Amino acid sequence: MNEMIEHIYSVGRTRRIAIFRRPSGSFGYQEEYLFRNDYFPDEVVEGWASLGECASYYDRVETAKADVMASVPWLATR
């Protein structure tokens, strides 16, 4: 199971980047969005969902963070 290292949130906290370490020792990141299902008044469900596959592999967490900062557009507006 992946070990979560850090979350980087958007200004409105509706998106985030999850930086993690795999059991193999490599690092990766995944972009996620906050969802809310409030169709039923007695049962509000919310949580974080992935915006795609996690195909990023890095040997160091610093390299993963640098790539995130360079490739995720909304991070420039934080």
pLDDT digits (tens, 9 = 90+) for 11-24: 999 999 999 999 99
Distance CA 42, CA 23 (A): 39
Distance CA 68, CA 62 (A): 10
Q: What is the pLDDT of residue 4?
A: 96
Distance CA 12, CA 51 (A): 17
Position 44 confidence tier, pLDDT thresholds 50, 70, 90: confident
Q: What is the pLDDT of residue 38?
A: 74
pTM of the model: 0.84
Average pLDDT over residues 55-66: 94
Alpha carbon separation from 52 to 38, 43, 57, 70, 77 (Å, rounded): 23, 27, 15, 18, 22
Position 25 confidence tier, pLDDT thresholds 50, 70, 90: very high
One-letter amino acid of 66: A
